[in-house]
Chain A
């Protein structure tokens, strides 16, 4: 099955700085890669996704890059704000199912 590895497990950044989270996956058949933000006691919220036919996608302060050859993808958050503090999960889809990374706890220091 699909194996998704995510790094780092924790990330502390100063407000206004950038945050980068990296993921690798094992199944070359995966073609869809969403990122989720989960706040305490809540369900995951989709923040951005990318399909294998593109290498980069951007939505305001959030961007995702995908390298299918190397089987890795990354989330970039620029100009971080305190409300960006949460746990972020990457995922890869195979056979309609999502396999999640272990998560990254992001703390934005004011």
Chain B
């Protein structure tokens, strides 16, 4: 149980393109989903917290107009990187949690974004 699916797994596109990444909880309803960014050989950095039906909460230093998050249902959240540039190249990972605090976050397998 607790399967989180992330799509696509890899994206390579030109600078200026907008890219959408989907995160789905397949076997549970996620009250909250999180979006992380991970650079090579580094830890996970939280970008934003997403709750179904409400606006996402962004961490300090994360541009909300650059990284658009939509959480349309209890099983789907999307991250759109708008007008992507080479510095946006990274590994983006989502997680989903069922219930309130002290519950485990279950992660997707990430999306490798490469901007040329």
Contact = CB atoms under 8 A, between A and B. Distances in A.
| Dominant secondary structure of chain B at its interface with chain A | strand
Nearest to A95: B101
B49 A44 contact: no
A46 B97 CA distance: 12
Nearest to A36: B107
Contacts of A101: 43
B46 interface: yes
Interface residues of B, number: 24
18 contacts: A31-B101, A31-B102, A44-B44, A44-B93, A45-B107, A46-B104, A46-B106, A95-B101, A96-B49, A96-B100, A96-B101, A97-B46, A98-B44, A98-B46, A98-B105, A99-B46, A101-B43, A103-B42
Interface of B: 4, 6, 32, 34, 42-44, 46, 49, 93, 95, 97, 100-110, 112
